[in-house]
Amino acid sequence: MANIENEGWKQRRLKGLCTRCGMSNHKSENCHVYPAHQTNIENFNKWKMRPSCASLFLIDFHIPNKTTPTICGKVLIDSGANRSLISKEFVNRNGIGTSLLSDIMYLTLTDGVTKKAVTCQTHSIPLVINGHEERIELPVFDSTEYDMILGLDWLMKHNPRIDWNTHSLIFSDPNLNVCANMVTNLHATTPAVTNDELYQLPPPSWPMSEFPKVFDIKEQMQLPKQREEWDFDVKFKENEPLPRCRPLFKLPRHQQELVADFIRKELKSGKIRVSNSPVGANLFFVLKNDSTTELRPCIEI
């Protein structure tokens, strides 16, 4: 699923495992899961096309807590992940404490290109899987797909017996037998909102209803009254080089018309005035973040 850039393939080679998929029944050059003659992207796209790729190796786990209800979730067993990880959404939802990592880690996804920074990890937490208990610290990654991923580092530490066909996992202790359910479809569910929570929500008119002057279009059409303690003139130091200005942008005709109209309206409202300053900035228009057609003015500083 994901690889942390720490040369995990060397760990697999030392253990006699396939350096490409992490299994032990074949050599790397004969890997049928991720063939060596194909690129990472080709292998990834081929993997997505398989009918069985939606089957997940998931195991129930829980995190006991003395002061709050036990935290429960699903963990994905993934030999393709060099490091075990925990979901940021799961951490935030359950109030699990975290701390910053001394060194940022970068997550490389299965397409071999996409990278994500991992900046924090959980405090030491108890992890229980069907009677097997341990304390673990997990890097926090941004994902809503899985609560937790136990990767190659965890698998090498415990070295459990795994049957990938039957989705069963057995620890060295014969009394600890963990069977994972095969899940073919995952459906995210949203918890119901209580009446108390609904009452605490702000009205649809907020924040305009609470700050009417701030959002009053008429108020925005003019400058605020002069305030001697805040207003000041920009004066250049004598015999000092002036800031360098970029040449005017070559705007398309429709943007030239927008700029001319913007300047005309702002001059009329008194928010800007004609200036002879030797320093200027480009004015242009870009699309608003929440629109595909509406433009907003930008001034390059």
Residue 252 lies in a domain: no
Residue 282 lies in a domain: no
**HEC profile of 152-213:** HHHHHHHCCEEECCCCEEECCCCCCEEECEEECCCCCCCCCCCHHHHHHCCCCCCCCCCCCC
What's the pLDDT score for residue 6? 45
User: What are the average pLDDT values for consecutive 10-residue runs of the chain, which has 301 residues?
Assistant: 51 73 69 70 58 62 80 85 89 90 78 72 88 88 84 86 72 55 51 78 87 84 81 85 86 91 90 87 86 83 70
Helix H or strand E encompassing 103: strand 98-109
What's the pLDDT score for residue 131? 75
What's the pLDDT score for residue 257? 93
Helix H or strand E encompassing 255: helix 253-269
Residue 299 lies in a domain: no
Q: For the chain, how many structural domains are there in total?
A: 1
Closest C-alpha to 15, from 26, 6, 7, 24: 24
| Number of alpha helices (DSSP H) and beta strands (DSSP E) in the chain | 7, 16
Residue 300 lies in a domain: no
CA end-to-end span of the chain, whole Å?
Answer: 43
Residue 55 lies in a domain: yes
Render pLDDT for 95-122 as a digit per residue (tens, 0 to 9): 899 999 888 888 776 655 566 788 899 9
Residue owning tokens 């992940």: 81
User: For residue 67, what are the domain limits?
Assistant: 2-183
Specify the long-range contacts of residues 67-76, CB closer than 8 Å, at least 24 apart: 68/95, 71/96, 73/147, 73/148, 74/146, 74/147, 74/148, 75/129, 75/146, 75/147, 75/148, 75/149, 75/150, 76/1, 76/146, 76/148, 76/149, 76/150
What's the pLDDT score for residue 263? 92
Q: What is the pTM of this model?
A: 0.42
Residue 298 lies in a domain: no
What's the pLDDT score for residue 111? 54
Q: Could you give the CA distance from residue 284 to residue 224 in angstroms, rounded to a whole number?
A: 25
Residue 267 lies in a domain: no
Residue 292 lies in a domain: no
CATH number at residue 156: 2.40.70.10
Contact 19, 80 (CB under 8 A): no
